[in-house]
């Protein structure tokens, strides 16, 4: 019995966690490949990732603001700070990260902007920013990983909920953010920016997918095991995996669609199909939907089983 009924943080927050994860994840992937391969040109993957990271984080902010009891109070989070609060520290990171994603978009779409006269006012800004491209990208890479982790730290501070209040949650959110971000940016780079589905970059991404997925599965197992073998409170929260609507979401959405989907599409089908565009998009959508289900599951099942 308590003074508040239902969950304190409903689905818009899950959507926000999802969008922030994709935003951070896609930038991490694109920038890591850029540095790893020492690229200086703007690749289709870079374009896709910077566009995705900017759009998703902007939409995520919208979710966050709309979930406030009164969206007009939003300015208060920006004006008052409390450094013991994960949310407050996250706001500071986002205040740097969001403009940075916009700057990366400017770098990425310089040619496109040049060809549209209405946007010519942006050109002097781009020229001004050009000398600091490298430091901007390094900062963006660090912040992108931090944003993924922050969404995990944000909710793992809720000590009343054993499923949420675990140390591995930020790691799980980084891993799932990166895998969904990679899926989103590779799909967009092929779809919009005419990247070759079998280009060397997408090959690297494709190869990295599986280790990341294994890491995700491992993190989920860690959480489940620590609950199953924990105290009475943890054990009751383990029910999230075995009974009720959230267990269905977990087994169908997270495990079935998110993990088994891509695995079956890639390994259980003939070579012609698994290399086709259909399989490429389907498995990408599976990875992204799986991540959304994971965020929903963690948030709702987590808040359902309170100590």
Tokens 């890639």, located at residue: 266
* Contacts by residues 236-242 (CB-CB < 8 Å, ≥ 24 positions apart): 236/162, 236/305, 237/161, 237/162, 237/163, 237/302, 237/305, 237/307, 239/305, 240/163, 240/297, 240/301, 240/302, 240/304, 240/305
Nearer to other proteins, 153 or 285 (CB): 153
Q: How far is CA 213 from CA 53, 139, 155, in A?
A: 21, 26, 22
Question: Least distance (Å) from other proteins to the CB of residue 2?
Answer: 3
Closest CA to 89 of 147, 139, 144, 141: 147
Nearer to other proteins, 94 or 144 (CB): 94
Q: Binding marks (x or -) toward other proteins, 5..24, rule CB under 8 A?
A: --xxx---------------
Hey, what are 133's tokens?
Answer: 């491209």
Q: Is 249 in the site for other proteins (CB under 8 A)?
A: no
Q: Is 245 in the site for other proteins (CB under 8 A)?
A: no
Evaluate whether 63 touches 21 at the Cβ level (below 8 Å).
Answer: no
Helix (H, G, I), strand (E, B) or coil at 161: coil
Question: Least distance (Å) from other proteins to the CB of residue 56?
Answer: 20
Q: Is 68 in the site for other proteins (CB under 8 A)?
A: yes
Helix (H, G, I), strand (E, B) or coil at 68: coil
Of the residues 77, 204, 247, 260, which one makes contact with other proteins according to CB under 8 A: 77
Residues 80-99, interacting with other proteins (CB under 8 A): 80-82, 84-88, 91
Only one of the segments 104-112, 203-211, 234-242, 261-269 lies at the binding site for other proteins (rule: CB under 8 A); that segment is 234-242
Question: Least distance (Å) from other proteins to the CB of residue 93?
Answer: 13
Q: Is 206 in the site for other proteins (CB under 8 A)?
A: no
Question: Least distance (Å) from other proteins to the CB of residue 4?
Answer: 5
Closest CA to 238 of 253, 249, 248, 226: 226
Of the residues 36, 73, 211, 278, which one makes contact with other proteins according to CB under 8 A: 73
CA–CA dist 220, 302 (Å, integer) = 13
Residues 155-184, interacting with other proteins (CB under 8 A): 155, 157-161
* Interface residue list for other proteins (CB under 8 A): 1-4, 7-9, 67-70, 73-74, 76-77, 79-82, 84-88, 91, 155, 157-161, 232-233, 235-236, 239, 303, 306-307
């Amino acid at each position: 019995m308590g003074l508040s009924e239902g969950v304190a943080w409903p689905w818009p927050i899950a959507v926000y966690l999802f969008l922030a994860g994709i935003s951070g994840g896609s930038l991490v992937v694109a920038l890591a490949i850029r540095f790893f391969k020492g690229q200086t040109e703007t690749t289709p993957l870079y374009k896709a990732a910077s566009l995705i990271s900017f759009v998703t984080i902007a939409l995520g902010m919208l979710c966050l603001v709309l979930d406030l009891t009164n969206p007009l109070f939003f300015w208060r989070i920006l004006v008052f700070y409390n450094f013991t609060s994960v949310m407050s520290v996250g706001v500071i990171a986002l205040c740097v990260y969001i403009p940075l994603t916009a700057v990366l978009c400017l770098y990425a779409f310089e040619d496109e902007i040049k060809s549209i006269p209405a946007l010519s006012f942006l050109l002097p800004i781009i020229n001004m920013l050009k000398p600091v491209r490298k430091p901007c990208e390094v900062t963006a890479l660090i912040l992108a990983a931090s944003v993924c982790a922050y969404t995990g730290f944000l909710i793992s501070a809720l000590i009343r909920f054993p499923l949420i209040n675990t140390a591995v949650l930020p790691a799980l959110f980084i891993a799932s953010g990166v895998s969904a971000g990679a899926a989103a940016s590779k799909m967009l780079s092929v779809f919009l920016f005419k990247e070759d589905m079998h280009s060397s970059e997408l090959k690297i991404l494709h190869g990295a997918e599986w280790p990341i997925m294994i890491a995700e599965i491992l993190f989920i197992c860690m959480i489940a095991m620590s609950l199953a073998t924990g105290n009475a409170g943890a054990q009751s929260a383990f029910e999230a995996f075995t009974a009720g609507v959230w267990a269905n979401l977990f087994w169908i959405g997270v495990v079935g669609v998110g993990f088994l989907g891509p695995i079956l599409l890639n390994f259980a089908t003939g070579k012609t199909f698994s290399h086709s565009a259909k399989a490429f998009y389907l498995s990408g959508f599976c990875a992204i939907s799986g991540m959304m289900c994971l965020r929903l599951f963690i948030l709702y099942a987590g808040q359902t089983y309170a100590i």
